[in-house]
Amino acid sequence: MKLITNKVYGAEDILPADSYKWQFVEDIMRGQAQSYGFREIRTPVFEHTVLFDRSVGDTTDIVQKEMYTFTTKGGDTISLKPEGTAGAARAMLEHGIYNEGYPVKVYYLTGCYRYEKKNFGRQREFHQFGMEVYGAASAYADAEVICAANSIFDRLGVRDISLEINSIGCPECRAKYYEALREYFSNRKDELCETCHSRLERNPMRILDCKEQGCAEIAKDAPKVLDYICEECSKHFDDVKKCLDAVGISYKVNPTIVRGLDYYTRTVFEFVAPELGTVCGGGRYDGLIEELGGQHTPSLGFGMGMERLLILLEKQGIELERPPVCDLYIAGISEAARVKAFELTEGVRNSSLIAECDIVGRKLKPQMKYADKIDAKFSMVLGDDDLQANKAKIKNMASGTTREVPLDEGFYDAFFNIYVNGENDIYLQKLGIEGED
């Protein structure tokens, strides 16, 4: 039978065989975010397009080439979010979260969408983990955000990942840098792509981030921003480095990092893996909130791509903890036994353990094959004789040993003690539970 459709190009299904990896990594991310005092924020998958035009920047590749934008039936221009920061900033302003006092610390796990060429580790639908801080101007905030990102890699056991940092200055000192860039790129204007022609006057720093091969080659010899930042921005950058030195986080100053979004100022950083390139990137964006209609609010954060991180873990052979297996499988032979198995299974689940019984209508042998397939730790077979005797045997699937337990209200305590204490016969005998090898 032919399927009526397949998944959309650039999107991927996360199947049950792999979803535990996502859950494990997400739990690490949530735990580390919470340890740094961050709380979760969830924003809509789509926003008014003007939000991204103003925040991400209408001279960026994202806005010019990659956004999914459409007009609603009501005539509104809407875009699927290409990154998580803009929506979080909009929500912070719209709901007055800043009234709770600064700093505001939020994190998110969200889907993002960019219409770009699908390649290794990059999808048109991808998932991003981000941490954002609003209302913190000091270099300590920059260092803390970098430490938070680094802590996730540490917890996951990622090896050989390097931190690269740069400062792109404030709008005032960057004006001088823009002039130097315009002068440099104007001399080679005929070699730039059409998109970079428009960037030359409006935002020449965006040329440094162009993905066209010719533009990238020309940009290699362009003036470096660190030669143009003002004294205040230079001191801020030095203070960031001092904080990182104090906690033992090694880094490399990379003057070519500018990041691909217009809202960045001062500190920018990337975590780079030799197997995959950039896995996490972020920095400071002190003018973003003001650009969106709020008061001047120094802000910063980072985004980390889930797909690329999972690929990196796989490439490095890092095994993630698998989900819990079935603790008890109860098979029923007769109709009455199936009903009892269903009752006991539900009771075990209410004790926060994992239990299953047959819901397909299999005979006994296929039921036990299924118990093996799901790696059940214990199993129990119920028949009419067991129901009449009001007791049955629980089998340890690994050792093959069995323990006889009652089928009345004492069943749950008996199974729990077997589950916790395993083969401790003396303890089981005190409970009056019979055992055999």
User: Looking at the domain assignment, is residue 154 inside a domain?
Assistant: yes
Count of structural domains, the chain: 2
Please write the tens of the pLDDT for every residue from 166-191. Answer: 999 998 888 888 888 888 888 888 88
Please tell me whether residues 123 and 270 are part of one structural domain.
yes
pLDDT of 54 reads 82
Tell which residue, 335, 308, 310, has the closest CA to residue 320.
310
User: Looking at the domain assignment, is residue 4 inside a domain?
Assistant: no
Please tell me whether residues 68 and 120 are part of one structural domain.
yes
Please write the tens of the pLDDT for every residue from 42-53. Answer: 999 999 999 988
User: Looking at the domain assignment, is residue 11 inside a domain?
Assistant: no
Which among 265, 293, 315 is the end of a domain? 315
Please tell me whether residues 310 and 342 are part of one structural domain.
no
User: Looking at the domain assignment, is residue 53 inside a domain?
Assistant: yes
Please calculate the CA angle 108-205-234 and round it to the nearest 5 degrees.
80
Write the CB contacts of 276 (distance below 8 Å, at least 6 apart in sequence).
121, 308, 311, 312, 315
Please tell me whether residues 36 and 81 are part of one structural domain.
yes
Question: Which CATH number is 162's domain given?
Answer: 3.30.930.10
User: Looking at the domain assignment, is residue 321 inside a domain?
Assistant: no
Please tell me whether residues 267 and 342 are part of one structural domain.
no
Which among 263, 287, 315 is the end of a domain? 315
Residue 273 has a CB neighbour count (10 Å cut-off) of: 21
For the chain of 437 residues, list the mean pLDDT of each consecutive stretch of 10.
Answer: 88 92 97 98 96 76 82 94 94 95 97 82 89 97 98 96 94 86 86 85 82 85 89 96 98 83 84 93 93 94 95 94 92 96 96 94 96 96 96 94 93 90 48 46
Which among 315, 345, 360 is the end of a domain? 315
Q: Which residue has the tokens 């709770």?
A: 100
The type of residue at 174 is R
pLDDT of 437 reads 45
pLDDT of 430 reads 40
User: Looking at the domain assignment, is residue 323 inside a domain?
Assistant: no
pLDDT of 261 reads 62
Please tell me whether residues 258 and 398 are part of one structural domain.
no
- Alpha-carbon distance of 88 to 321, in angstroms, equals 31
Tell which residue, 48, 69, 10, 270, has the closest CA to residue 161.
270
Looking only at the bridges linking them, the beta strands covering 299-305 and 39-40 are unpaired
Question: Which CATH number is 388's domain given?
Answer: 3.40.50.800
Please tell me whether residues 235 and 257 are part of one structural domain.
yes
User: Looking at the domain assignment, is residue 218 inside a domain?
Assistant: no
Please tell me whether residues 62 and 114 are part of one structural domain.
yes
pLDDT of 188 reads 86
Strand order in the sheet with 355-357: 355-357, 328-332, 378-382, 391-396, 402-406, 435-436
Domain extent, residue 164, equals 16-170+229-315
Please tell me whether residues 292 and 429 are part of one structural domain.
no
- Alpha-carbon distance of 155 to 201, in angstroms, equals 45
pLDDT of 219 reads 85
Please tell me whether residues 289 and 421 are part of one structural domain.
no
pTM: 0.86
Please measure the distance between the N-terminal and C-terminal CA atoms of the chain and give it in whole angstroms. Answer: 51
On whether the CB atoms of residues 39 and 107 are closer than 8 A, the answer is: yes
Please tell me whether residues 260 and 380 are part of one structural domain.
no
Please tell me whether residues 132 and 79 are part of one structural domain.
yes
User: Looking at the domain assignment, is residue 222 inside a domain?
Assistant: no
Longest dimension (CA), the chain: 95
Task: Taking each helix axis as running N to C, give the angle between helix 16-35 and helix 139-156, from 0 to 180 degrees, rounded to the nearest 10.
Answer: 140
